[in-house]
Structure 1
Amino acid sequence: MRWNLRMRAAQTGIWKSNEMRRRLAEAGLEISAGKMSALWTGQPTTIRLDDLDVICLVLQCTPSDLLICEPEQAAARRPATSAMESDEPVAVAPRLGRGRSMPPA
């Protein structure tokens, strides 16, 4: 996934993080300068859904406008193994730990 906040903000006429922070505060979301900087310049590892709702409200967009799917990067992370390359289903056996029993049939 790619975080697209700056581009979406620019499309609505917001060019600086301070302006975005002010508009978020007007909408009821107080963000620290450090957190705003991280959202503005980088790709957040986490974001609260409530915060995302307010960001979308301010930018008049949907989460899909802010999060751009990059399937080629996900495919590049997949390990290349012979089992994954074949079309045959792979049998999965449960691993039993201490004190665990087999699931009901």
Structure 2
Amino acid sequence: MLWNLRMRAAERGIWKSTEMRRLLADAGLEISAGKMSALWTGTPTTIRLDDLEVICSVLDCDPATLLICEPEKAAARRPQKEQQKAVGQSSAQVVAPRFGRHRSAPPL
């Protein structure tokens, strides 16, 4: 995923992280200077959905504007054997459902 916060903020005329932090605080989201710096300069490894909702509200956008998929990166992480298998197959593998009770009984 590509984190697009700075570009979206620039489109809204927000050029400094301190300005963005102030707007978020006005919207009810208090972010520390360190966390704001991390959001502003890099791609966060995690973000709370509540925080994302406020950020989107301030920037007048939806999460898809801030989080851009990069399918080539996901494909690059796939193990080599699986990549070769996927390239060699033209149709997807069909998984048949298992009916009946195929589980062990719970402990007594």
User: TM-score when scaled to structure 1?
Assistant: 0.81
Superposition deviation, residue 70 in structure 1? 0.5
After the TM superposition, list the runs of 4 or more consecutive aligned residues in structure 1 that deviate by more than 2 angstroms. Answer: 82-89
| Residue aligning to 1:99 | none
- CA RMSD in angstroms comes to 2.0
**Where in structure 2 are the equivalents of 1:32-51 lying within 5 Å?**
32-51=32-51
2:79 alignment partner in structure 1 = 79
Question: 2:6 aligns to what SS in structure 1?
Answer: helix
Which residues of structure 1 form unaligned runs of 5+?
A: 92-101
What residue number does 1:23 align with? Answer: 23
User: 1:49-81 CA deviation, whole Å, 9 max, x = no partner?
Assistant: 000000000000000000011001111111121
Count of aligned residue pairs for this structure pair:
94
Using the TM superposition, give the Cα deviation of residue 85 of structure 1 relative to its aligned residue in structure 2, in angstroms.
Answer: 4.5
1:4-37 deviation digits (Å, cap 9, x = unpaired): 0000000000000000000000000000000000
| Residue type at the aligned position of 1:6 | R
